[in-house]
Amino acid sequence: MKDDNVLEDWEEKDQANLDKKSARKMVWRTRLSIGFTVIRTLLLIFLIYIAYMIPVSIYYDMSGKQGEFDRLITTLIETRYPGVEVNHMFSNHAEINSFLTQSTTLKLYRNVGEWDVVIGEVQAEKHLFGKVSYSLNFDEKYLNENKVHNFAIPPKILGRQSSDAAESGSKENLRKQLTKIDDGHVAQAQFSVKTPMKSRELLEKLEAYDIQVYRMPIYGGELTEVETPSHGSGQFTFVQSLLLRPQIIYDDKNRHSSSVSPLNKVTIEQSIDQFYKDIKWLTENGNYRGIDIDQKRLNYIRENGVQVYGAVVTGPIREIEKLLDEEQFHQFYLGGIEVWNWYEN
């Protein structure tokens, strides 16, 4: 009887061990089955994603939407930020994700003499049903440096009298700065004009100087006809103007095709024609903050013609210095200084 009990205990222990082994095997089989199921599911999702994104990306590129977004951002920046250029020589920067959000990153630079000086980049995106948003990220050389200055609306347009003392004050500060810089440098400079004039008239005035012209602010009825964000400094009022730039031509896929630079009497009419086309295209194809203002400004310019009241120029330091003697020019700002790199006219 004792032996029978011992045998029964052994059999029970063996059976318990077998049950444990079987249970462990079942656990591992279950784990492996779940693991393979997860892997297959992830692989299927990935394949579906690829199958979805390939035609989306092909359509985005082939339809011209990719170039369109780059063109949209380039036009927005170059027609409202004085002295800032966008590198559009290499197209197809824009991308689209699975949520159909478009994004792009483009290099920013300034024309300083014959240099193209990189100053940062613009990052932009647009959600499927949202507005275009962008941010300018400048390479900071100095703390609290103001990279972009708006132009001063001619006081006479606003029914005000200008003070020669205030205007000469800003000129004299810049003159002192320039006298400390030797002849072996080139600079970019920006100035406003006291009285609006035709673009060709301003170009003829600037022909006397060995400089190149890259931007001109166009008066679009700001403050008098069109409600526009503005800020004041003393007697002057500054607004973000629409800017006349050298002509840039795009192909039917919205890719950069050719450009004519800088602004001069030979190229000015083509640049003005392109300005109308660019702003019209921008307001028809863009969904951005301020589009309603641009539509009103474009209508005003069509009715009243192109009147400019400033310029962004570049050239040798001594030529920039000479501009300070022009009675009509005021509110000067330096956009950048570099060592000599200039082809004299």
Distance between CA atoms of 226 and 74, rounded to whole angstroms? 24
Q: How confident is the model at residue 50 (pLDDT cuts 50, 70, 90)?
A: confident
The arithmetic mean of pLDDT across residues 80-89, rounded, is 91
pLDDT of 90? 65
How much is the mean pLDDT over the chain? 88
Task: Mention every residue, 6+ apart, whose C-beta is less than 8 A from residue 216.
Answer: 199, 202, 243, 244, 263, 308, 310, 311, 312
Q: Which two tokens stand for residue 209?
A: 């100087």
pLDDT of 143? 81
pLDDT of 146? 85
| Residue 15 pLDDT > 70 | no
Peptide bond into 262 cis (omega under 30): yes
pLDDT of 133? 96
Please give the full DSSP string across 46-93, using - where no structure is assigned: HHHHHHHHHHHHHHHHHTSHHHHHHHHHHHHHHTTSTT-EE--SS---
Q: 237 has which bridge partners?
A: 232
Under a CB-based contact definition with an 8 Å cutoff, are residues 252 and 207 in contact? no
Domain ranges of the chain: 1-62, 65-339
The arithmetic mean of pLDDT across residues 253-264, rounded, is 87
Q: 230 has which bridge partners?
A: 239
CA 47-126-119 angle, to 5 degrees, is 110
| Residue 165 pLDDT > 60 | no
Per-residue pLDDT reduced to its tens digit, 279-337: 999 999 999 999 999 999 999 999 999 999 999 999 999 999 999 999 999 999 999 99
Per-residue pLDDT reduced to its tens digit, 141-153: 888 888 899 999 9
| Residue 2 pLDDT > 80 | no
pLDDT of 88? 79
Distance between CA atoms of 95 and 105, rounded to whole angstroms? 9
